Amino acid sequence: MEYTIRPVRAEELEQVAAVEAECFPAAEAASREDFAHRLVTCAESFFVAETKKGEILGFVNGCCADDSHLADELYHDSSLHNPQGAYQMIFGLNVRPACRRQGIGEALMRHMIESARTRGKKAVVLTCKEHMVTFYSRLGYRFFGLSDSAHGGASWYLMRYEFDREPRWTEHRVAYYETDQMGIVHHSNYIRWFEEARVDLLNKLGMGYEKMEAEGIISPVLGVQASYRSMTHFGDTVLIYPRVTKYNGIRLELSYRVVDRDCGEVRCEGESQHCFLNSEGRPVSLKRQNPAAHELFLKIAEQDMNEKTSS
């Protein structure tokens, strides 16, 4: 389905309110009047997905605030909106029921995340019901447990997409050649996926293999282990999460978690160990050979270990 994501227009608020009514019960749904106030005070946080024929398929809207807590008062009191606030709040992500499972909701949310990033926000904050936690986790939101929100008399869970702690993953769609005759991924491919995620991680950190090797450093694999949790099939899409578990300037260790993108089920977990050599194949200390890379790995290792402790 072809659609365009763009800022909402005043003449579309009737359609927006109709979509809201399809997606939320009356106790939780915002009214047309609410949307009108939001358009005046929070226009930079209000986007719709529109077909070529002008049909509104869905929308995402919110406001900005100074506090990382999404207070219930924000939903109905637009005067509390602060355009310069450090946090982008999400009031709702809505897609017409007949148009779901086509990636529209994800596209809308990613658009909002990029908009918040461009506007210099610290994080995007939302609350959701329990069945939506996996969806938002897949987009990179961190889970903070049950919130104190009483909005609509429902239970809501707090989640934040934090720009200074953005998740690192590699997305991989299973190819036919990676499966056996039953359409199940052969176990050897998970090791290749570990490497794919590791290379991608280093590139994102600005310390890719090409750059390291150009500076006379190579990082061979000393060992790799994998534990298989559940089956992956042809056509599935998985997310591979690499994490630095140990680094001391001479040795680097990573862990990996492969999860199904759509249901969040863990498919495989593993580890790999690496050292650093010079172009002659001799062990080197990265701290002496490349101090900038050393500091970067120390920072990532500390961040990943803290993430593990708090999760």
307 has pLDDT over 70? no
Q: What contacts 120, CB < 8 A, 6 or more positions away?
A: none
Q: Average pLDDT of 60-84?
A: 90
What is the fold of 4-165?
Aminopeptidase (3.40.630)
Q: Of 307, 306, 304, 308, which is closest to residue 201 (Cα–Cα)?
A: 304
As given in the structure block, the two tokens for residue 40 are: 């005046």
Q: Is the pLDDT of residue 306 over 90?
A: no
- What's CA 283's distance to the chain center, in Å? 37
Cβ contact 298:286 at 8 Å: no
Whether 310 shows a pLDDT value over 50: the answer reads no
Listed by start position, the domains of the chain span 4-165, 170-310
Residue 190 has pLDDT above 70, yes or no: yes
**Contact between 135 and 110 (Cβ < 8 Å):** no
> CB atoms < 10 A from the CB of 157, how many?
18
- Is 0.75 surpassed by the pTM of this model? no
Decide if pLDDT at 95 tops 90. yes
- CATH for 170-310 is 3.10.129.10
105 within 8 A of 3, measured Cβ to Cβ: no
| pLDDT tens digits, one per residue of 209-255 | 888 899 899 999 999 999 999 999 999 999 999 999 999 999 999 99
Q: How many residues does the chain have?
A: 311
Instruction: Check residues 206 and 144 and name the one with the higher pLDDT.
Output: 144
Q: C-alpha distances in angstroms, 130 versus 9, 49, 163, 196?
A: 32, 25, 23, 32
For residues 161-173, give the mean pLDDT: 86
Distance of CA 14 to the CA centre of its chain: 31
Phi and psi for 207 in degrees, rounded to 5? -135, 50
Report the C-alpha gap between 156 and 69 in whole angstroms. 13
